[in-house]
Amino acid sequence: MKTRSAIWLGSALFALTALGFTAQRVIAADKIDPATEAKAFQNFYFQKFPNVKHEDFVNGPYSMNEDMKRQWQEKEEFPPYEFALDAGKEMFATPFKNGKTYADCFPNGGIGIRQNYPYFDGKEGKVVTLELALNRCRAANGEEPYSYVKDEMASLTAYMAFTSRGKLMDIKIPDDPRALEAYENGKRYFYTRRGQMNFSCASCHVQSPGERIRAEILAPALGILNAMPIYRSEWSGMGTTSRRFITCNSQTRAVPLEPQSDEYRDVEYFLSYVANGLPISGPGARP
């Protein structure tokens, strides 16, 4: 009888082999090379969709279908996330009660830095996402934290993403075994099946991008976070990265984790790293 870990390893090896990884690389953890893995991850999509420009993968399902791409281009003339941009810009510039602003918490005043998040914090030994950094900024200035799944956080991250549009994702894995472990944990979470439907993140976004599930066209995993946060028609509003992870778990009938849990931060680290070199396109809009 197979153990749970053996079942997971078999599933992971199957998925990773599809991306050009080898069983030896998975088993010999001390030889893991994230840069090589990221190149193989990207090449998998480039070969699967040879007619899609590499930079267009950040547009999710709109890169998969010419009709949808035209609809998206028309939608971008009057983007549904514009209200969030305006709100986020105002929030970003409004001083806290102590007179400071978000700009005091970030390099370059918080402008044009989205492509550097998440990052691995060597002092803490964990991944720090942009959402987490914003709430830590609020706490440091005597303000109550925002919900990770509500409009305030979505608006703030939308504005910060907008100031980085066109900049290339540039996530670092420092020479620290804990950083590599966070990357590995994120990869493991991405490929692990869970929930009543026994789906992994990869079930939809590696095995089936471009295909329909009900009325939705599944997005490729490559560049999926470059467009965050996103406006979704089914939400009739904006959604943060945290909200997207929770929604995915719920849709596969898995138990969602707490927003900004280590697992969610690690999978964001993994997905962002393998998208290095692709442009930031957020905030985005999806059906």
Residues in Cβ contact with 268 at an 8 Å cutoff, skipping those fewer than 6 apart: 118, 127, 129, 186, 225, 241, 245
Q: 137, 201, 204, 248: which one is catalytic?
A: 248
Type of residue found at 193? R
User: Is the Cα dihedral 17, 19, 20, 25 positive or negative?
Assistant: negative
Phi, psi angles (nearest 5°) of residue 108: 55, 30
- Gap between the terminal Cα atoms of the chain: 43
| Burial of 133: CB neighbours in 10 Å, binned 0-12, 13-18, 19+ | buried
Distance CA 151, CA 148 (A): 9
Dihedrals phi, psi of 177, to nearest 5 degrees: -55, -25
Told to judge if 201 belongs to the known catalytic residues of this protein, a careful annotator would answer no
d(CA 88, CA 90): 5
Is residue 233 within 8 A of residue 79, CB to CB? The reply is no
Do 249 and 138 touch, CB atoms closer than 8 A? no
Q: Which residues are annotated as catalytic? A: 248
